[in-house]
A = this chain, B = another copy of it.
Amino acid sequence: MHTIEELRAMIKAELERQEYVGEPRSLYEPIIYMLEDGGKRLRPLLALLAYNLYRDDVEKALKPAIGIEIFHNYTLLHDDVMDDASLRRGRPTVHKRWNSNVAILSGDAAAVTAYKCIEHCDDKYLRRGIDGFNQVALDVCRGQQYDMEFESRDDVTEEEYLKMIYLKTSVLIAGSLRHGALIAGAPENEYMTLYEFGGHLGQAFQLQDDYLDVYGDVREFGKNIGGDIVTNKKTYMLIKALELAEGSAREELLGWIARKEFVPAEKIAAVTRIYDRLGIAGVARQKIDYYIEKSFETLERIQVKQAFRATFMEVIRELVGRKK
C-alpha cells in the first residue's frame, strides 16, 4: 500500500513525462503551464487511493489519474475565461498570459487529451468508465451554468446552492474515486459507495472554501481573505446571511451588495461583522461537520482495511481540517 507522499510523487513524475503532449506544441503550452503550477493533485490522488484499495499495481492507473487532473485543469481554463479571473494559484491565468482564444482552444484540446488518458483501462471497464466520465463532465457544465445564473439572482436558496456546488465541484471528486475503483475491478456497490463518499467530501471541501474566505488565515488559506465578499460572490455564507438577516442587518447587507464604490477593507470588515451578528460561522461549521460526518458514515459501508482508512482520514484532514 502506498503513502500519500508516494502517490503524489508518482503523479508528479507522470505529469512531467508529458506523454500527453502532441503537435503543435503551442497548442499544449497552456496545458503544460496550467499543470506545472502544482496544486494539491487531489483528484488523481483520490483516484489512485481508490484503485489501491483493490490492487497494488497503481502505476497502471497513473494515466487515467493524470487524465482526471488534465480534465480538472481544462475546466479551470474555461472557467477563468468566463469569470475573467486574472490570477490562478498566484500566477497569471492563461487568457491573461496569452489570450481568450488560446484559453478556449487549448482548453478544448485538454478535454480530449483528458478523455484519451482516462480511457487507459481494460476493455471490460471501458463502457462504464466513459459513461461515468461523460456524466461527470456534463454535471460540471451544469454546475457552472447554475453558478453563472445565480450571479444575477438575490434569492438563491441553500438547497439550490448545495446542488450547484455538488455539480460543479463534488461530482468530479466523487468521479475520481469511482473511476479509480472501477478500473481496479471493485464490485459495483463499492465503487458507487466511494462515489457517494466523494460527493460528501466535495461538499465539505467547497463549504470550507467559502468559510475560509471569511474566517481563514491568509497564510494558511493561500489567497486573500474577503475576496468573495468584495465581489458579492454567492457563497454559502452570503446565501445564509441573506436568508437569516432581518431589519437593520438586512438593510445594511443589501446596502453593501448594491454599493458600487467602496474601500474593499471596509466592506470586508462590515460584512464580516454582519456575519458575526448572525452567527454565520457556526451555521457554516455545522454544515461542514454534517458532510464530514456523512462521508465517514459512507466510508464505513465499504470493506476498507484499517491502514487505508487512516490514509483516507489523512486526506480528509488535509482537505477540511484546514485552519479554522
A interface residues, Cβ below 8 angstroms from B: 22-24, 26-27, 78, 81-82, 100-101, 104-105, 108-109, 111-113, 115-116, 119, 123, 126-127, 130-131, 134, 137-138, 141-142, 144-146, 148-149
On whether the beta carbons of B130 and A119 are closer than 8 Å, the reply is yes
On whether the beta carbons of A116 and B134 are closer than 8 Å, the reply is yes
On whether the beta carbons of A27 and B145 are closer than 8 Å, the reply is yes
Could you say which of B112, B131, B137 contacts A141, with CB atoms under 8 Å apart? B112
Q: Return A22 CB to nearest CB of chain B, in Å.
A: 7
Q: How many copies does the complex hold?
A: 2
Q: Return A288 CB to nearest CB of chain B, in Å.
A: 27
On whether the beta carbons of A82 and B105 are closer than 8 Å, the reply is yes
Could you say which of B105, B134, B142 contacts A115, with CB atoms under 8 Å apart? B134
CA distance A105 to B79 in the complex (A): 9
Could you say which of B109, B116, B141 contacts A108, with CB atoms under 8 Å apart? B141
CA distance A78 to B109 in the complex (A): 12
A–B pairs, 13, beta carbons within 8 Å: A24-B146, A27-B141, A27-B145, A78-B104, A78-B108, A81-B100, A111-B111, A112-B137, A113-B138, A115-B115, A119-B131, A119-B134, A126-B127
Q: Return A101 CB to nearest CB of chain B, in Å.
A: 4
Q: Return A295 CB to nearest CB of chain B, in Å.
A: 26
On whether the beta carbons of A27 and B142 are closer than 8 Å, the reply is yes
On whether the beta carbons of B127 and A112 are closer than 8 Å, the reply is no
Contacts A112-B134, A126-B127, A130-B130 given; does A24 touch B145 at CB 8 Å: yes
CA distance A82 to B100 in the complex (A): 8
CA distance A112 to B130 in the complex (A): 11
Tell me which residues across on chain B come within 8 A of A119, comparing CB atoms: 127, 130-131, 134
On whether the beta carbons of A104 and B126 are closer than 8 Å, the reply is no
Contacts A126-B126, A127-B126, A134-B115 given; does A145 touch B82 at CB 8 Å: no
Q: Return A157 CB to nearest CB of chain B, in Å.
A: 15
CA distance A131 to B126 in the complex (A): 12
Tell me which residues across on chain B come within 8 A of A27, comparing CB atoms: 141-142, 145
Tell me which residues across on chain B come within 8 A of A127, comparing CB atoms: 119, 123, 126
